[in-house]
Amino acid sequence: MEYQPSVERYDRMQYKNCGNSGLLLPRISLGLWHNFGSVDDFGIASDMIKYAFDNGVTHFDLANNYGPVPGSAETNFGKILKENFRGYRDEMIISSKAGHEMWAGPYGGNSSRKNLMASIEQSLRRTGLEYFDIFYSHRYDGVTPVEETVQALIDMVKQGKTLYIGISKYPPEKARVAYEMMKAAGTPCLISQYRYSMFDRAVEAESLALAAQYGSGFIAFSPLAQGLLTDKYLHGIPENSRAARATGFLKADQVTADKVRKAARLNEIAVRRGQTLAEMALAWVLRDERMTSVIVGASSVKQLNDNLHALENLAFLNDELAEIEGILRS
């Protein structure tokens, strides 16, 4: 049966302008970092994309090396688009990135113009798209001059390969150079993507304020700390969890007694708020007015549905915030 999106989809989501732009992003975006590669169940991946769209999630976040195998998340997403969303492309924000290792040899994994220009062409072919809505430099590689990387991004906009550009994980001093150069070229940085959660707050020092200063939106990845801010690890490491898999990004030794203790105490606050720990953790990230959206990952429709419930209660009492702060600093 041909997929027909829910007619109520836009009533189920909250949207926010991305920085100083006219572009609205859903407060919750879907990331395809995990569970959408060639080793994953294509049917489940397709169901999650459709469920997300049915609930007003219009932003889907990719990168050229997402998989495994690298590139397969883009390929699978392209198939899902072709099979289900042929008439809905203009209702979607599709982003991708390049800069981490993708192919063999000296040109397949840095922030050079060579890598970025080849990467966006490959990503467009894999997804079957004519353009991306957002294309990021995935990282500052420590070698390539920021000016070279940013000029490549600016040229992508001028060539019609992407509508907007962004940066991800840039140290503040390099981000400032990028913001200035993009602004001068008339292609301001639409959005800045960084890791941010209750357990990883490094962006609070400078990056959040710097992005706001230049009118860039801000989007957080890993807002649940790879699952540590859910109830999954409160009683040990489940057999099929990310931490249990040797190939996962969350390692078993990161599930420390201290993190579990804090998560358990945070869970008590979440229960009082009528939320799961994951819902409260997402709401906590979104509490900051500078935060445009959070990128959630999901392995099932049920998990995605649970995350979307976070939007039902984004407000915090001052006492709750103080109690959370005390736990995180203990």
Give the model's pLDDT for residue 239. Answer: 53
Give the model's pLDDT for residue 145. Answer: 98
Strands 24-26 and 132-137: unpaired
Cβ proximity of 294 and 40 under 8 Å: no
Average pLDDT, integer, range 100-122: 97
Binned at pLDDT 50, 70 and 90, residue 251 comes out as low
Give the model's pLDDT for residue 233. Answer: 80
Give the model's pLDDT for residue 238. Answer: 53
The structure tokens listed for 86 are 């042929």
Between 146-158 and 172-184, two packed helices, what is the crossing angle to 10 degrees? Answer: 40
Give the model's pLDDT for residue 254. Answer: 74
Distance of CA 21 to the CA centre of its chain: 19
Give the model's pLDDT for residue 235. Answer: 73
Whether residue 250 has pLDDT greater than 60: no
Average pLDDT, integer, range 246-251: 53
Which fold is adopted by the domain 9-234+288-312?
TIM Barrel (3.20.20)
Higher pLDDT, 233 or 87: 87
Whether residue 102 has pLDDT greater than 50: yes
pLDDT single digits (tens) 252-310: 567 788 999 999 999 999 999 999 999 999 999 999 999 999 999 999 999 999 999 99
Give the model's pLDDT for residue 249. Answer: 56
Total H helices, total E strands in the chain: 10, 10
Q: Where are the beta strands (DSSP E) in the chain?
A: 15-17, 24-26, 28-31, 59-61, 93-98, 132-137, 162-168, 191-195, 217-221, 293-296
Average pLDDT, integer, range 239-264: 68
CB atoms within 10 A of CB 309: 15
Task: Write the CB contacts of 186 (distance below 8 Å, at least 6 apart in sequence).
Answer: none
Cβ proximity of 243 and 253 under 8 Å: no
Cα 48 from Cα 137, distance rounded (Å): 26
Cα 255 from Cα 240, distance rounded (Å): 15
pLDDT mean across residues, the chain? 94
Binned at pLDDT 50, 70 and 90, residue 1 comes out as confident
Whether residue 245 has pLDDT greater than 80: no
For residue 18, the SS3 value is coil
| 64-78, 138-152, 240-254, 260-274: range with lowest mean pLDDT | 240-254
Average pLDDT, integer, range 131-136: 98
Query: Residue 255 corresponds to which amino acid?
Result: V
The label of the residue with tokens 């700390």 reads 225
Domain residue extents for the chain:
9-234+288-312
Strands 15-17 and 24-26: antiparallel
Give the model's pLDDT for residue 182. Answer: 98
Whether residue 7 has pLDDT greater than 60: yes
Give the model's pLDDT for residue 243. Answer: 45
